[in-house]
Structures are given as C-alpha cells and as structure tokens.
Amino acid sequence: MRLLFVCLGNICRSPTAEGVMRSVLAAEGLADRVSVDSAGTGSWHVGHAADARARAAAAQRGIELDSVARQVSAADFQDFDLLLAADRSNERDLLALAGADPARRAKVRLLRSYDPAAVAAGDLEVPDPYYDGGFEHVLDVIEAACKGLACAICQ
C-alpha cells in the first residue's frame, strides 16, 4: 500500500500526516507493508522543510517531520494507491488533476474520512494551522485519522 498525504503547500498538514502515519505504522507493525509520502497542490514551498512550528509540535510527541516539500503531479496517481487530501479544496484540486478517469478519481479521499468521530460530526477537514496556529490540534485530528486509516489497511 502506498499513501500520499496532500495539503496546500506541503509544509504543515501533509508532512505532519506523513510523520504521524509513519509513527502509527511502526507502532502497529505495518511499517514494512505501507509506504508514505506527502505533497502540496501548490508550488510555493517546493524544496522547503516542514514549518518549524509543525516540526516542534510533532517533536514534543516523538514524531519526526523530515520530508522536503514537493508539488503533487499526475504521475502520483500511478505511484500511489490513495491520495489523502487535508481539506475539500485540496480534494477538488486532486480531482481536477485526476481528470475524468474513474480509477484515478477513486484514489482521492479526505484524510479525516478515516476517523469515525470526524465522520459522525461531519467535520472532515484538517484545519490549516499556517496562519492561526493550532498545531497541537492538527496533530490530534491527524493522529485520529491515521489510526483509523491504519485499521482500514489491516482489514
């Protein structure tokens, strides 16, 4: 299984999801069965490390965010089994990139759709902490979604 986490700039939410998922997979003994990566729909931060605030918040939980930002591409639909969008805007951008191909479109999911509590609450977007902070809350919601995703992979 190959997973790509996608947000806008690939410096906050998607690298956080990549790091959290690596941690969850290691804890569940699935690290050798699943590969993870992250990308952004925009190109503003290509080549940059994750936001220092995201790295600091993750480090307090023992999670390393070591990815380098890149932009999502059409080739990612061939290279990954799931493209997990942080919010509806990212989902729309991914679906536009997928085009009319139903197989490519079926790979696009909202990350929080794997969190039963988020689904029940109708709150399927990971908030963007870039301007308003909230990196701890983002870690919480991403962790819940990643645990649900790991359970789905196990089945």
Check 12, 13, 22, 37 and give the catalytic one.
Answer: 13
Check 51, 70, 128, 146 and give the catalytic one.
Answer: 128
Does the annotation mark 146 as catalytic? no
Question: What pLDDT does residue 71 have?
Answer: 98
* Helix ranges, 45-105 (H): 52-59, 76-79, 88-98, 102-105
Confidence of residue 57 (pLDDT cuts 50, 70, 90): very high
pTM of the model: 0.97
* CATH code for the domain of 149: 3.40.50.2300
Does the annotation mark 13 as catalytic? yes
- 60-68 contacts: CB < 8 A, separation 24 or more? 61/139, 62/23, 63/19, 63/20, 63/22, 63/23, 63/139, 64/19, 65/15, 65/16, 65/18, 65/19, 66/19, 67/10, 67/15, 67/18, 67/19, 67/37, 67/38
Question: What pLDDT does residue 89 have?
Answer: 98
Question: Can you give the residue range of the structural domain that contains 35?
Answer: 2-154
Domain count within the chain: 1
Reported as a single tens digit per residue, the pLDDT across 91-125 is 999 999 999 999 999 999 999 999 999 999 999 99
pLDDT at 132 over 90: no
Does the annotation mark 7 as catalytic? yes
